[in-house]
């Protein structure tokens, strides 16, 4: 893994993103999340070149809090475009992990679609990705203390 100061969003993000257009029924979005083992689906708009531009995100929490808890009688007619959080907060792939964390914190989001310089979707950075990267860095720091203790023991014999 790269050193913490050089880690970018592009290094850490998941490249396989579950996407849809706005016409997908909410129930199908929930099934898609379940089947693909993800907590979100990114609403995209397709460009003529085939690239996808993120326009919004719908999360498992959106479904539970926004639909199941409030609007069960209308669920059959709801589409992703009716529930998606937009405008979407994104991050460029070359942004540092620290900048991404600041963006997530400032906007109160746990998922950042990652885009290239043209705005096309290339991945998604989740809070879980951040936790994993930070845990790995902390583990490296902890190993230094263990190494130092072993070295001291050897030098005192």
- The C-alpha atoms of residue 97 and residue 61 are separated, in whole angstroms, by 24
The answer, yes or no, to whether the previous bond of 118 is cis (omega within 30 of 0) is: no
What is the rounded distance in angstroms from the CA atom of residue 101 to the CA atom of residue 106? 9
Q: Is the pLDDT of residue 118 over 70?
A: yes
The pLDDT of residue 51:
95
Domain ranges across the chain: 4-155
pTM of the model: 0.82
Superfamily of domain 4-155: CBS-domain (3.10.580.10)
Overall average pLDDT of the 105-129 stretch: 96
Q: pLDDT at residue 2 above 60?
A: no
Among 47-51, 68-72, 124-128, whose mean pLDDT is lowest? 68-72
Averaged pLDDT of the chain: 88
The residues, ordered by sequence, that sit 6+ positions from 55 with a Cβ below 8 Å of its Cβ are 22, 43, 44, 45, 84, 86, 87, 88
Query: For 131-135, what is the mean pLDDT?
Result: 88
The CA distance from 12 to 125, in Å, is 7
How are the residues of the chain apportioned to helix, strand and coil, as percentages rounded to the nearest 5? 50, 25, 30
The three-state secondary structure class of 43 is strand
- Judge whether residue 65 has pLDDT over 60: yes
Mean pLDDT of 118-135: 94
Give yes or no for a contact between 124 and 97, defined as CB atoms under 8 angstroms apart: no
pLDDT of residue 70: 63
**Nearest-angstrom CA–CA distance, 22 and 12:** 27
């Amino acid at each position: 893994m790269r050193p913490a100061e050089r880690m970018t969003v592009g290094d850490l993000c998941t490249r396989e993103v579950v996407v849809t257009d706005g016409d997908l029924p909410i129930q199908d979005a929930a099934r898609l999340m379940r089947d693909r083992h993800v907590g979100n689906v990114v609403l995209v708009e397709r460009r003529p070149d085939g690239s996808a531009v993120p326009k919004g995100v719908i999360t498992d929490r959106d479904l539970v809090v926004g639909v199941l808890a409030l609007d069960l009688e209308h669920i059959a007619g709801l589409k992703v475009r009716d529930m998606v959080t937009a405008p979407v907060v994104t991050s460029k792939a070359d942004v540092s992990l620290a900048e991404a964390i600041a963006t997530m914190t400032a906007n109160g989001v746990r998922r950042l679609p990652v885009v290239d310089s043209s705005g096309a979707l290339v991945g998604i950075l989740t809070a879980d990705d951040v936790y994993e990267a930070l845990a790995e860095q902390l583990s490296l720091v902890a190993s230094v203390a263990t190494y130092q203790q072993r070295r001291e023991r050897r030098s005192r014999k």
